[in-house]
Amino acid sequence: MDRDTRQNISRYADQELSYVDAQSLAFIEREGVDTVFAFDHHMLLSGRTVMPRAGG
């Protein structure tokens, strides 16, 4: 998973991802997670549904 994490850091270099954010994205992709519970806007990069939704 370290390789995938580093790839995410490179892929999203303009987003200033932390290592933990990049690793979370790698985990989400690897495990096929459909919905993510997070307050971190970087999780939107996963392309999955992020809960709770902003503004409601």
| 3 state SS for 15-48 | HCCCHHHHHHHHHHHHHCCCEEECCCHHHHHHCC
Least confident stretch, 33-37, 41-45, 52-56: 52-56
pLDDT of residue 31: 97
pTM recorded for the entire structure: 0.86
Distance in angstroms (rounded) separating the CA atoms of residues 17 and 24:
10
Residue ranges of domains in the chain: 2-51
Under the banding of pLDDT at 50, 70 and 90, the label for residue 56 is low
Q: Hey, which residues does 37 pair with through a beta bridge?
A: 51
Distance in angstroms (rounded) separating the CA atoms of residues 20 and 53:
21
